[in-house]
Amino acid sequence: MRAEIVAIGTELLLGQVVDTNSAFIAEQLAGSGIDCVFQTRVGDNLDRIVEALEIALSRSDAVVTCGGLGPTQDDITREAVARVMGVTLRRDPGLLEVVEKFFAARGRNMAASNAKQADLPEGASAIPQRRGTAPGLVCPVGEKVVYCLPGVPDELREMVGRAVLPDLRARSGEQSVIVSRTLRTWGLSESTLAEVVAPRLEHLDRAGGGAPTIAFLASGIEGIKLRVTVKAPDAASAEVALAREESELRHLLGTRVFAVDDETMEHAVGRLLLGRGLTLAVAESFTGGLIASRIVAVAGASRWFRGGVVAYAAEVKHEVLGVPPGPVVTAEAAAAMAAGVRRLLGADVGLATTGVAGPDPQEGRAPGTAFAGVALLAGPPDAVALRLSGDRARIRQIGTISALDELRRRLLAAG
Amino acid sequence: MRAEIVAIGTELLLGQVVDTNSAFIAEQLAGSGIDCVFQTRVGDNLDRIVEALEIALSRSDAVVTCGGLGPTQDDITREAVARVMGVTLRRDPGLLEVVEKFFAARGRNMAASNAKQADLPEGASAIPQRRGTAPGLVCPVGEKVVYCLPGVPDELREMVGRAVLPDLRARSGEQSVIVSRTLRTWGLSESTLAEVVAPRLEHLDRAGGGAPTIAFLASGIEGIKLRVTVKAPDAASAEVALAREESELRHLLGTRVFAVDDETMEHAVGRLLLGRGLTLAVAESFTGGLIASRIVAVAGASRWFRGGVVAYAAEVKHEVLGVPPGPVVTAEAAAAMAAGVRRLLGADVGLATTGVAGPDPQEGRAPGTAFAGVALLAGPPDAVALRLSGDRARIRQIGTISALDELRRRLLAAG
């Protein structure tokens, strides 16, 4: 089973919008075992959309399009796919009612142009909308199929999971269930990680065909992911196989696994604090608010996060956080900052960063030199050196996650 | 002149990497007046790369590829383009020396596989590397041309400006110079902005052919951009026309223009503070460190930024910043936070945010309710309401830039 993606919209060709939809669809296809060998982007031009669809259908079994289903004049995906199918559009009364109700529920007048979102190519079926107004389309073309999805990422993502993947799997005659789980790791290089899990990979290799497969995904600043994929006759046995494989890998990786699937480092830290009934305050120098801003992005963080101090100038470290006079790019300063912010903000735990983000050295220390301090309850604060590299932005981002990871592992060790 | 983009790499097809290179190249082509009507992504598969290149060359005059020029086995762009040209690869001694020197300069051994980066299809010429090891390629195919660029964004961007655009312009027979300047605005909707500049657009329309053109670019959370493009016989007269048009637009837009080209809101604020010899401290509630982290991203911010307090819990606002008892999602609280952080951190100017990011209401106020407070020197602090909408992440991001913009316009007004 081979599928292609055709992203539609002149804004993509002008480079005004980065095409994240195609990446999302591609990842979902790969996770379902469906090959995707070409992706095309084309503007809001009828002839060229038709050409792109015909080329894609000539070499693949299925095409997923995104964009061009809105109410404006340049939204012409419906027309293009109808031409490829060799049929006309007809207005669907049931879909029209949905669009009308959407506007009525918001007390807004429906512009006449919106009615075209109820048009369907003859022989196509609709994927009902749950978030917006434009339904998706399932358009058979001989033995092949074109799925048309709206370009709004939220609407598209929901329809891929609910309608496109199940339909593709049914068409491929695939009876079994393919499920993935991603273990997120921090603190090991890709090569070290590969060495650590090598015995397990060799075991799975020897087990052959039906065994789980494991892929390494480098995710930029968010650590390295291990994706486990299993194929099983039904959901229940897939879950058993997934759980067993996760347990084998966790046995090898220990606390290097900080989260599963979409959970972030700050979610993992929040969960640990919440479970222990502890509150957190942060003091940031070179990370300059990045730790706090990631934490505040977690809904419900107010239950465990009190706030922080961005101590960018050295005097703020001394005067507001009580760091003793002297150099500030040191482990001692990081520990004192952690203790100071914990006290100042009345939190149970203090976390602090100090370091050199660059481009210039500071206190004679090179960019990338950095320390994370932790003050846990009334215990003596202390700090560790972080080894960071890259440009200013990267040093700050890696420093942020490294500091959160340091706190995470200390909370785990404290039990 | 029509060009296409072919992005190469299996990681793109698997959705593990979002293809930002294509968007960048597309924007650059558009800015140079070169039409781009298709973009394709293909994996590291020789036959499919050749197929994608042949389809692209059959309908366009030029193709720009990115990716697949590295040293590993799956980097096969050179082989694919050689096959399309009907030639073989030869190793270029000059290029080999460059690669060898790159490794020698870093004290690293060069793996044998790196030598392939010195291979050129017969008849092609190299775009010398200035940042990495893989040179770009200019590959004539009959009257048409394929440019191959490395997938590393920094290296690619530099080569597009230095080699690809000038060569494309020369090939298109274009003698004149096309130059753009982008005015960045904040605080007006796209429709209001269009109304404000309508008289000027009409004037330019009447002036016809040789007049500057103006495009609106919505840039997500970074405001709306007005891109002015002029075409002139030489660089000096292009600059004159650009400066004149910028002045006309600034006359209509006033302080709504916060920056030009790549300058950000925080750069603009920093420039104003530095020019007035003032230092800044920030107090953040719902923005939770986003303002500070954007400021610290500006190299040299230490000359004007002292730091900040993330006052996420209400008690931190009262106890650390001296906000009077009572509700904290108010203009009064924002003003008190600004004055409090200015005093606590010993800065000349205090900027503060308080508000509801959602998803739940707070103090009976809906998500999107927010205030920005400003304390300028010893003057009485005050605050304005910000009107924000969207989800939690968007409310926080728009709130961040709105607060910085409020400070910017007050600094301008204070002279």
Q: Identify the CATH number of the domain defined by range A2-171.
A: 3.40.980.10
* Contact residues, chain A, for B359 at CB < 8 Å: 299
Task: Count how many pairs of residues, chain A against chain B, have C-beta atoms within 8 Å.
Answer: 222
Q: Among residues 370-389 of chain A, which lie with CB inside 8 Å of chain B?
A: none
Interacting residues of A195 by C-beta distance below 8 A, sequence separation 6+: none
Tens of pLDDT, residues A208-232: 777 898 887 766 678 888 989 888 8
Whether A371 has a pLDDT exceeding 90, the answer reads yes
What is the arithmetic mean of pLDDT over B74-99?
94
CB of B342 less than 8 A from some CB of A: no
Average pLDDT taken over every residue of chain B: 92
CB of A160 less than 8 A from some CB of B: no
Q: Do B40 and A37 touch (CB under 8 A)?
A: no
What is the arithmetic mean of pLDDT over A315-342?
97
* Contact residues, chain B, for A313 at CB < 8 Å: 302, 305-307, 345
Between the CA of residue B8 and those of A16, A195, B22, what are the distances in Å? 21, 29, 10
CA angle (A172, A174, A177) in 5-degree steps: 135
Give the strand pairing for B382-387 and A213-218: unpaired
Which residue in this structure is represented by tokens 């990338």? Answer: A368
Region for B390 from its dihedrals, namely left if φ exceeds 0, alpha if ψ lies in -120 to 50, beta otherwise:
left
- Measure A357 CA to nearest chain B CA, in Å: 9
Q: Measured between alpha carbons, how far apart are the two ends of chain B, in Å? A: 49
What is the arithmetic mean of pLDDT over B300-319?
96
Q: Which position has the higher pLDDT, B324 or B28? A: B324
Tens of pLDDT, residues B46-66: 999 999 999 999 999 999 999
CB of A346 less than 8 A from some CB of B: yes
What is the arithmetic mean of pLDDT over B195-208?
90
Band the pLDDT of A302: cuts 50, 70, 90.
very high
CB of A314 less than 8 A from some CB of B: no
DSSP codes, A354-395:
EE--SSS-BTTB-TTEEEEEEEETTSPPEEEEEE--SSHHHH
Tens of pLDDT, residues A28-37: 888 787 888 9
Residues found in chain A: 415
* Contact residues, chain B, for A290 at CB < 8 Å: 289, 293, 296
Structural contact between residues B70 and B117, judged by C-beta atoms closer than 8 angstroms: yes
Q: What's the CA gap between B120 and B89, in Å, rounded?
A: 5
Whether A18 has a pLDDT exceeding 70, the answer reads yes
Tens of pLDDT, residues B143-180: 999 999 999 888 899 999 999 999 998 898 877 777 88
Structural contact between residues A149 and A65, judged by C-beta atoms closer than 8 angstroms: yes
CB of B298 less than 8 A from some CB of A: no
Question: What is the pTM for the complete model shown?
Answer: 0.81
CA atoms lying within 13 Å on the CB side of residue B188: 21
What is the arithmetic mean of pLDDT over B257-265?
93
ipTM exceeds 0.85, yes or no: no
What is the arithmetic mean of pLDDT over B385-398?
92
Give the mutation candidate from A2, A4, A16, A226 for the B interface (greatest B CB count, under 10 A).
A16
CB of A253 less than 8 A from some CB of B: no
Nearest residue on chain B to A392, alpha-carbon basis: B297
Domain A265-414 class in CATH: alpha beta
Q: What is the pLDDT of residue B73?
A: 80
Average pLDDT taken over every residue of chain A: 92
* SS3 label, residue B94: helix
What is the arithmetic mean of pLDDT over A63-73?
90
> Which has the closest alpha carbon to A52: B236, B100, B41?
B41
Nearest residue on chain A to B44, alpha-carbon basis: A37
- Measure B142 CA to nearest chain A CA, in Å: 24
Tens of pLDDT, residues A191-201: 788 889 999 99
Q: What is the pLDDT of residue B333?
A: 98
Handedness of CA B155, B158, B161, B163 (dihedral sign): negative
Q: What is the pLDDT of residue B352?
A: 98
Tens of pLDDT, residues A233-287: 888 998 999 999 999 999 999 999 999 988 999 999 999 999 999 999 999 999 9
Nearest residue on chain B to A346, alpha-carbon basis: B316
Domain ranges of chain A: 2-171, 177-260, 265-414
* SS3 label, residue A409: helix
Band the pLDDT of A84: cuts 50, 70, 90.
very high
Structure tokens at B272: 């104003």
Whether A311 has a pLDDT exceeding 90, the answer reads yes
Q: Among residues 107-126 of chain B, which lie with CB inside 8 Å of chain A?
A: none
Q: What is the pLDDT of residue A220?
A: 65
CB of B314 less than 8 A from some CB of A: no
Residue A293 is nearest to which of B15, B24, B293, comparing CB atoms? B293
CB of B71 less than 8 A from some CB of A: no
Q: What percent of chain A has pLDDT over 70?
A: 99
Interacting residues of A220 by C-beta distance below 8 A, sequence separation 6+: none
Q: Do A38 and B42 touch (CB under 8 A)?
A: yes
Interacting residues of A358 by C-beta distance below 8 A, sequence separation 6+: A367, A368, A391, A392, A395
Q: Which position has the higher pLDDT, A152 or A84? A: A84
Which H or E element spans position A77? helix A77-85
Q: What is the pLDDT of residue A122?
A: 97
Band the pLDDT of A67: cuts 50, 70, 90.
very high
CB of A20 less than 8 A from some CB of B: yes
Q: Which position has the higher pLDDT, A122 or B262? A: A122
Which H or E element spans position B11? helix B10-13
Whether B219 has a pLDDT exceeding 70, the answer reads no
Whether A12 has a pLDDT exceeding 90, the answer reads no
Nearest residue on chain B to A43, alpha-carbon basis: B37
Q: Do A345 and B393 touch (CB under 8 A)?
A: no
Q: What percent of chain A has pLDDT over 90?
A: 69
- Measure A150 CA to nearest chain B CA, in Å: 18
Cis peptide bond upstream of B380, omega within 30: no
Residue B297 is nearest to which of A52, A295, A393, comparing CB atoms? A393
Tens of pLDDT, residues B232-242: 888 899 899 99
Give the mutation candidate from B59, B312, B395, B401 for the A interface (greatest A CB count, under 10 A).
B312
Structure tokens at A393: 């932005």
Q: Which position has the higher pLDDT, B339 or A114? A: B339
Q: What's the CA gap between A75 and A317, in Å, rounded?
A: 56
Whether B405 has a pLDDT exceeding 70, the answer reads yes
Extract the runs of DSSP E, i.e. beta strands, from B193-279.
Answer: 213-218, 224-232, 257-260
Band the pLDDT of B404: cuts 50, 70, 90.
very high
Region for B232 from its dihedrals, namely left if φ exceeds 0, alpha if ψ lies in -120 to 50, beta otherwise:
beta
Residue A307 is nearest to which of B41, B52, B309, comparing CB atoms? B309
Q: What is the pLDDT of residue B220?
A: 66
DSSP codes, A202-235:
HHHHHH-TTS-EEEEEE-GGG-EEEEEEEEESSH
Residue A40 is nearest to which of B25, B38, B289, comparing CB atoms? B38
Nearest residue on chain A to B218, alpha-carbon basis: A16
DSSP B320: H
Nearest residue on chain A to B286, alpha-carbon basis: A296
Domain B270-414, CATH number (from 3.20.20.140, 3.90.950.20, 3.30.540.10, 1.10.1040.10): 3.90.950.20
CA atoms lying within 13 Å on the CB side of residue A3: 30
Q: Measured between alpha carbons, how far apart are the two ends of chain A, in Å? A: 49
Mark A83-96 as b/e (b = at least 16 C-beta within 10 Å): bbbebebeebeebb
> Which has the closest alpha carbon to A393: A344, A341, A358, A361?
A358
* Contact residues, chain B, for A284 at CB < 8 Å: 289, 292
> Which has the closest alpha carbon to A142: A61, A46, A64?
A61
Structural contact between residues A136 and A93, judged by C-beta atoms closer than 8 angstroms: no
Residue B293 is nearest to which of A48, A289, A320, comparing CB atoms? A289
Give the mutation candidate from B21, B41, B320, B353 for the A interface (greatest A CB count, under 10 A).
B41
Looking at A300-347, list the stretches that DSSP marks H as alpha helix, in order from N- to C-terminal side: 314-319, 331-345
Cα dihedral value A256, A258, A259, A261, nearest 10: -50
What is the arithmetic mean of pLDDT over B190-208?
88
Band the pLDDT of B407: cuts 50, 70, 90.
very high
Whether A169 has a pLDDT exceeding 90, the answer reads no
Residue B41 is nearest to which of A28, A39, A282, comparing CB atoms? A39
Fold adopted by B177-260: Alpha-Beta Plaits (3.30.70)
Pick the range with the lowest mean pLDDT from A290-299, B187-196, B208-217, B227-236.
Answer: B208-217
Which H or E element spans position A276? helix A265-276
Backbone angles phi, psi at B384, to 5 degrees: -125, 155
Q: What's the CA gap between A260 and A246, in Å, rounded?
A: 10
CB of B56 less than 8 A from some CB of A: no
Interacting residues of B94 by C-beta distance below 8 A, sequence separation 6+: none
Region for B196 from its dihedrals, namely left if φ exceeds 0, alpha if ψ lies in -120 to 50, beta otherwise:
alpha
Distance of CA A106 to the CA centre of its chain: 31
* Contact residues, chain B, for A26 at CB < 8 Å: 12-15
